[in-house]
């Protein structure tokens, strides 16, 4: 496919994101026009706009929109970095075990700790469930990394297979936990597993946005070494890159990024797989362009998916993870078919 | 650094893997301005020696580069003057060839205009300027090898403010994927680089190519230095028979007088 010039790409994805942002503020059970929702966003109490409209836009729709942008950006960015790190365009943040481990942490929180954790949740601020999900994700990733690391380098194959095994193991433990759970716990568990952005608490939104910004800045510093890594680990070393420390840094940062995303929004699959692919088609694989564009497009994509989730079965709401899986899984299969000979 | 100091010196270099000695107390020095061919049967330790020199394998013994111990060099600084061309490269992301060559400039910080200039010049020297806007994964094996060579050329491109900067170029079987024309073109380029204050070490299997382009042949056998000298000194029927277990004859080229193995 033809590569587009860089300013066009940024204008295109940035424009799409801005449009979706306003659309997301305007969409919902109470329809608002674009202009109305924009005015309500910046208006104060004395602006003459009805107080309930201000409340809906500023207190309900804005946090949710920002959370979508932050989580989508993190997932797109981490997907791009993981694919570079594994030198495999099929790698996905979930594959190295973060999602499985995070789900296990969340299941533990919901089933074993939730009955006694009500007071703790308010005390901890960000809540017991997100914290355990994040810890579970980070611990699993570290374990997978240790399994995959041998003297002289990290075996990508071993890491991928270890990720598969650990995801299966945590799935089994979650299965066991469902036998211990009561009805309310089961409902919480499945809602969290499918991913939801509705509960956009300000502290979650701030955490996710801060994570996105910090990760983007740190990953951009490693954009050129990541390009060199695609040549091969030996070649990157010959070009003066400290490969071991680069890999360790990227693994920890992606684990933290995906951990935060999973913790605040649940399991949202395929964004990290689909977005870097689309960007590579339009902009090429150079990480200097790929990373910021993946963050932008990831944000736009998740925002669009969330608008679908909110409106398709209105007034009921679908978990956004179902939408991204419906869009992403066929894409993944298409990639497999397309690359069958080369994988 | 005094002019006579070898660019590369290894002393009592040993490498053991799973209890088996791969390299055995090897001594080797390379001077600027020379092209040295590293020869030996399969499994003699040629690639392992190269990997020790580039710091990819842990080893015993000392290696010094440009008069300073290898470990004491910051990796980025060393990458300014040591270029390595591996046997094959696994890049399968759709980079343009000019982007691949530009990766060679990673260790350098410079304005984009200067980088593009060097990338173009390196591609011209490696004979791949016509591939600049082709996608790397779509190339043939030989074309890929030449693009990678251009990348290494770009990496150790002479700085205009330091034309006497000594450089080291390590090539691991660079001709294996190339046809006759490009085998000679690549080695001619390597010779030209050697003439510019560079020490070139190239792993070769073709004894005749080695005799034609190298000043010095170094023969390895089971991790030990078997022979070291000019092509005429090293390429004798007795030695070839002993090393490769193959009865060969050595004749002399009618024009150049260089030894040829038939």
What digits encode the pLDDT tens for the residues A119-146? 554 444 456 777 787 788 778 877 877 7
Most confident of A293-302, B21-30, B52-61: A293-302
Interchain proximity A230–B83, CB inside 8 Å: no
> Could you give the residue ranges of the DSSP H alpha helices within chain A?
6-26, 34-42, 51-55, 62-86, 98-108, 118-124, 128-148, 156-180, 183-194, 202-221, 223-231, 233-238, 243-265, 271-283, 287-311, 320-338
Rounded mean pLDDT, A7-16 = 92
Binding-face residues of B in 157-196 toward A, CB within 8 A: none
Task: Write out the E strands in chain B.
Answer: 8-17, 20-30, 35-39, 60-65, 68-69, 82-85, 167-172, 198-203, 216-221, 224-229, 250-252, 259-261
Rounded mean pLDDT, A88-112 = 78
Interchain proximity B86–A237, CB inside 8 Å: no
User: What is the β-pairing status of strands B198-203 and B216-221?
Assistant: unpaired
User: For A284, which of B83, B96, B107 is closest by C-beta distance?
Assistant: B96
What pLDDT does A46 receive? 66
Nearest residue of A to residue B93, measured between CA atoms: A285
B110 touches chain A (CB under 8 A): no
Residue B25 pLDDT more than 80? yes
Least confident span in A47-56, A109-118, B101-110, B203-212: A109-118
What pLDDT does A319 receive? 83
User: What is the β-pairing status of strands B8-17 and A153-154?
Assistant: unpaired
pLDDT in tens, B43-62: 888 989 999 999 888 889 99
Rounded mean pLDDT, B136-159 = 93
What pLDDT does B4 receive? 67
What pLDDT does A300 receive? 96
Substitution target in A240, A242, A246, A278 with the highest count of B β-carbons within 10 Å is: A240
Question: For A6-338, which CATH class?
Answer: mainly alpha
pLDDT above 90 as % of chain B: 60
Burial of A123 (0-12, 13-18, 19+ CB in 10 A): exposed
Interchain proximity A224–B77, CB inside 8 Å: no
3-state secondary structure of A95: helix
Residue B145 pLDDT more than 90? yes
φ/ψ of B145, rounded to 5, equals -60, -40
For tokens 């890999």, the residue is A247
Least confident span in A1-5, B9-13, B149-153: A1-5
Positive/negative CA dihedral, A38, A40, A46, A49: positive
What pLDDT does A156 receive? 64
Residue B114 pLDDT more than 80? yes
pLDDT in tens, A152-169: 455 667 777 877 888 888
Give A149's strand partners.
A154
Residue A198 pLDDT more than 90? no
What pLDDT does A209 receive? 95
What pLDDT does A153 receive? 53
Q: How close B57 gets to chain A, by Cα (Å)?
A: 8
Binding-face residues of B in 201-240 toward A, CB within 8 A: none
Residue A268 pLDDT more than 80? yes
B71 touches chain A (CB under 8 A): no
Q: Let me know: does A307 contact A23? Beta carbons within 8 Å.
A: yes
Residue A2 pLDDT more than 80? no
B132 touches chain A (CB under 8 A): no
pLDDT in tens, A218-262: 999 999 999 999 998 889 999 999 998 998 898 888 888 888 888
Nearest residue of A to residue B56, measured between CA atoms: A234
What pLDDT does B52 receive? 92
Interchain proximity B107–A239, CB inside 8 Å: yes
Interchain proximity B78–A240, CB inside 8 Å: yes
Nearest residue of B to residue A228, measured between CA atoms: B103
Structure tokens, A168: 């299966």
Residue B108 pLDDT more than 90? yes
- Residue A56 to residue A260: CA distance in whole angstroms: 26
User: For B86, which of A234, A241, A286 is closest by C-beta distance?
Assistant: A234
Specify the higher pLDDT residue, A132 or B73. Answer: B73
Specify the higher pLDDT residue, B129 or A335. Answer: B129
User: For B103, which of A87, A228, A234 is closest by C-beta distance?
Assistant: A228
Q: How close A159 gets to chain B, by Cα (Å)?
A: 18
What pLDDT does A207 receive? 87
User: For A228, which of B51, B58, B106 is closest by C-beta distance?
Assistant: B106
Interchain proximity B94–A284, CB inside 8 Å: yes
Q: Which of A297, A299, A303, A292 is nearest to A275 (CA)?
A: A297
What pLDDT does A50 receive? 78
What is the rounded average pLDDT for all residues in chain A?
83
User: For A231, which of B80, B82, B91 is closest by C-beta distance?
Assistant: B91
Domain residues of chain A, as ranges?
Answer: 6-338
Residue B242 pLDDT more than 50? yes
What pLDDT does B258 receive? 85
- Quick one: how far is CA A213 from the chain centroid? 14
Q: What is the ipTM of this complex?
A: 0.91
Find chain B residues with C-beta within 8 A of A157's C-beta: none
Q: How close A230 gets to chain B, by Cα (Å)?
A: 6
Residue A342 pLDDT more than 50? no
pLDDT above 90 as % of chain A: 29
Question: b/e map of B43-71 (b: 16 or more CB within 10 Å)?
Answer: ebbbbbbbbbbbbbbebeeebbbbeeebe
Residue A339 pLDDT more than 70? no
Q: How close A321 gets to chain B, by Cα (Å)?
A: 29
Cis peptide upstream of residue A315 (ω within 30 degrees of 0) = yes
What pLDDT does B84 receive? 95
Interchain proximity A238–B54, CB inside 8 Å: yes
B140 touches chain A (CB under 8 A): no
Rounded mean pLDDT, A291-296 = 97
What pLDDT does A1 receive? 53
Q: Which of A234, A333, A54, A339 is nearest to B47 (CA)?
A: A234
For tokens 């046809």, the residue is B179
Q: Let me know: does B79 contact A238? Beta carbons within 8 Å.
A: yes
Interchain proximity B89–A232, CB inside 8 Å: yes
B104 touches chain A (CB under 8 A): yes
Q: Which residues contact A229 (CB under 8 A, 6 or more apart)?
A: A84, A85, A87, A236, A241, A243, A246, A247
């Amino acid at each position: 496919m033809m590569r587009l010039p860089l300013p066009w790409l940024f204008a295109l994805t940035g424009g799409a994101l801005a449009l979706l942002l306003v659309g997301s503020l305007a969409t919902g059970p109470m329809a608002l026009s674009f202009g109305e929702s924009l005015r309500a966003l910046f208006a104060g109490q004395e602006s003459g706009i009805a107080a309930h409209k201000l409340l809906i836009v500023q207190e309900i729709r804005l946090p949710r929109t920002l959370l979508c942008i932050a989580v989508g950006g993190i997932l797109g960015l981490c997907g791009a970095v993981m694919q570079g790190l594994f030198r495999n365009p099929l790698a996905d943040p979930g594959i190295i075990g973060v999602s499985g481990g995070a789900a296990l942490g969340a299941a533990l929180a919901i089933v074993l700790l939730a009955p006694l954790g009500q007071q703790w949740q308010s005390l901890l601020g960000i809540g017991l469930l997100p914290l355990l999900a994040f810890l579970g994700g980070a611990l699993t990733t570290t374990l997978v990394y240790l399994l995959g690391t041998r003297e002289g380098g990290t075996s990508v194959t071993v890491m991928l297979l270890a990720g598969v095994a650990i995801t299966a193991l945590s799935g089994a433990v979650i299965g066991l936990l469902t036998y211990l759970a009561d009805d309310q716990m089961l409902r919480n568990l499945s809602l969290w597993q499918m991913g939801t952005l509705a509960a956009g608490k300000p502290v979650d939104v701030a955490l996710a946005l801060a994570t996105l910004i910090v990760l983007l800045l740190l990953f951009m510093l490693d954009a050129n070494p990541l390009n060199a890594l695609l040549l091969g680990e030996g070649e990157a070393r010959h070009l003066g890159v400290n490969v071991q420390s680069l890999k360790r840094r990227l693994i920890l940062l992606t684990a933290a990024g995906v951990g935060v995303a999973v913790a605040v929004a649940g399991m949202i699959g395929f964004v990290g797989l689909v977005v870097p692919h689309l960007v590579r088609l339009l902009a090429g694989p150079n990480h200097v362009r790929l990373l910021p564009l993946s963050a932008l497009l990831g944000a736009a994509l998740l925002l669009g998916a969330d608008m679908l989730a909110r409106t398709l079965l209105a007034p009921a709401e679908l978990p956004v993870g179902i939408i991204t899986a419906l869009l992403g899984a066929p894409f993944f299969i298409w990639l497999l078919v397309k690359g069958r000979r080369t994988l | 650094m005094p002019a006579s100091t070898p660019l590369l010196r290894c002393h009592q270099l040993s490498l053991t893997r799973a209890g088996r000695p791969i390299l055995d107390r090897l001594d080797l020095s390379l001077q600027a301005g020379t092209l040295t061919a590293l020869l030996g049967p399969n499994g003699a330790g040629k690639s392992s020696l190269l990997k020790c020199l580039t710091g990819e394998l842990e080893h015993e013994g000392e290696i010094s580069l440009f008069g300073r111990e290898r470990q004491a060099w910051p990796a980025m600084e060393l990458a300014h003057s040591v270029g390595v061309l591996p046997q094959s490269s696994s890049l399968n992301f759709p980079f343009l060839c000019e982007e691949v060559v530009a990766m060679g400039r990673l260790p350098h910080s410079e304005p984009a205009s200067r980088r593009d200039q060097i990338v173009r010049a390196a591609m011209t020297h490696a004979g791949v300027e016509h591939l600049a806007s082709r996608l790397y994964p779509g190339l043939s094996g030989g074309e890929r090898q030449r693009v990678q060579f251009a990348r290494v050329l770009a990496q150790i491109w002479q700085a205009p403010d330091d034309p006497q900067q000594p450089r080291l170029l390590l090539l691991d079987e660079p001709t294996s994927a190339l046809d006759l024309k490009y085998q000679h073109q690549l080695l001619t380029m390597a010779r030209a680089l050697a003439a510019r204050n560079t020490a070139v070490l190239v792993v070769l299997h073709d004894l005749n190519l080695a005799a034609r382009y190298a000043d010095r042949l170094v023969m390895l056998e089971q991790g030990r230095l078997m022979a070291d000298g000019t092509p005429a000194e090293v390429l004798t029927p007795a030695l070839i028979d002993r090393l490769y277990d193959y009865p060969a004859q050595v004749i002399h080229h009618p024009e150049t007088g260089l030894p040829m193995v038939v």
